[in-house]
Amino acid sequence: MPKLLTHVFLFTLFHHSFATNTLNPKEYLLDGQTLVSAKGSFALGFFSPGDSKNRYVGIWYNKLQVQTVVWVANRLSPIADTNGTLQLNSQGVLTINSMIVFPGPSVRLTNPVAQLLDDGNLVVKEANSSEFAWQSFDYPTDTLLPGMKLGWDLRTGLNRNLTAWQSDIDPSPGSYVVSMDLKGIPQLTVWSGSAKRWRSGPWNGIVFSNIPEMSSFNGFLFDFISNEDEVYYMYNTTDPMIVSRLTVSQAGRGERFVWIDHHRHVERLLVCAQRPVRRVLTMRAFRPVRPQWLAHV
């Protein structure tokens, strides 16, 4: 009996701990286990949004008290129980319950590993290489993190866009999409189906013309690249203590969330769900506000 109890204890310990940021081809990440990035900024594992019983593989901030998911792998194919597994096969392809959910690497890998980085990016690469063969940043959900590209890789046809969740308990694609529109002068556009609900206006070298407030966003660096290979928008923070993400809400709002000292601040950058393109509301530059007010946002 003591031997049996020891085995049960060891299985339970293994099931709930996976203290690494790396997944190898012969390993399984089980429901209840997490990968944690090297500095503890992000975690990857199975979760259920709200009171949903469905299980999803996602990435969330590891140090925030309220679980805040920034990426979902299987948003179209939830798991109905807690028997899910995430695995990296020998070709470097990630599978959930043996099902491929994303295209695999475009190059052949001989010793692949999957690794969760401290910027929230899940990457697949050769074990001893810094070159990414695949990355979750190329397949956003509803969130743009610092360092992510929102736009096109014209060489491969990859279109990185943001798609709202269907609801708070359903991360499947909702009604609104934020993407880089290449027709005419490239600019960010919010779509509802085939209808344009909002446009950022062209980039003037500093900001998008319809969001002049960007110039007063302290602590942020904005970049827009347009050449024969890529067209994309990206932002970064100047202070590593600032935790930030941009999202498209279920109502079609572009929102910026900022955490400083674990206090959340919210800015609605544009409100466009029920408004024509010319009537866009933007928020003023970030400023601290009372947490009591934020609780009602």
SS3 2: helix
Tell me 48's DSSP state.
-
* Residue 76 contacts residue 170 (beta carbons within 8 Å): no
pLDDT: is 257 or 112 the higher one? 112
Q: What pLDDT, on a 0 to 100 scale, did the predictor assign at position 282?
A: 31
Residue type for position 85: T
E strand or H helix at 291: helix 291-294
* Residue 146 contacts residue 220 (beta carbons within 8 Å): no
With CA atoms as reference, report the closest residue to 269 among 259, 287, 256. Answer: 256
Q: What are the distances in angstroms from CA 218 to CA 60, 144, 259, 288?
A: 25, 18, 14, 12
Q: What's the CA gap between 55 and 245, in Å, rounded?
A: 23
Whole-model pTM: value is 0.85
Q: What pLDDT, on a 0 to 100 scale, did the predictor assign at position 18?
A: 62
Tokens of 11: 């299985």
Strand partners, 134: 124
Quick: pLDDT tens for 35-91.
999 999 999 999 999 999 999 999 999 999 899 999 999 999 999 999 999 999 999
Q: Please state, for a pLDDT cut of 70, what percent of the chain lies above it.
A: 81
Q: What are the distances in angstroms from CA 40 to CA 23, 64, 67?
A: 16, 11, 14
Q: Which of 56-70, 154-168, 259-273 has the lowest mean pLDDT?
A: 259-273
Q: Which residues neighbour 292 within 8 Å (Cβ) at sequence distance 6 or greater?
A: none
What mean pLDDT comes out for the span 96-110? 93
Residue 297 has pLDDT above 60, yes or no: no
Q: What's the CA gap between 72 and 49, in Å, rounded?
A: 11
Residue 101 has pLDDT above 70, yes or no: yes
CATH homologous superfamily for the domain 1-137: Bulb-type lectin domain (2.90.10.10)
Q: Which residues neighbour 214 within 8 Å (Cβ) at sequence distance 6 or greater?
A: 206, 207, 208, 220, 222
Tell me 63's DSSP state.
S
Q: What pLDDT, on a 0 to 100 scale, did the predictor assign at position 19?
A: 66
Give the other-Cβ count within 10 Å of 91's Cβ. 13
Q: What's the CA gap between 73 and 102, in Å, rounded?
A: 8
Residue 1 has pLDDT above 60, yes or no: no
The domain segmentation of the chain, as residue ranges, is 1-137, 140-297
Tokens of 58: 């996602």
Q: Which of 14-18, 45-49, 90-94, 116-120 has the lowest mean pLDDT?
A: 14-18
Confidence of residue 10 (pLDDT cuts 50, 70, 90): very low
Q: Which of 100-114, 234-248, 276-290 has the lowest mean pLDDT?
A: 276-290
**What is the distance, to the nearest Å, from the Cα of residue 102 to the centroid of all Cα atoms in its chain?**
15
Q: Which residues neighbour 173 within 8 Å (Cβ) at sequence distance 6 or greater?
A: 75, 76, 163, 164, 166
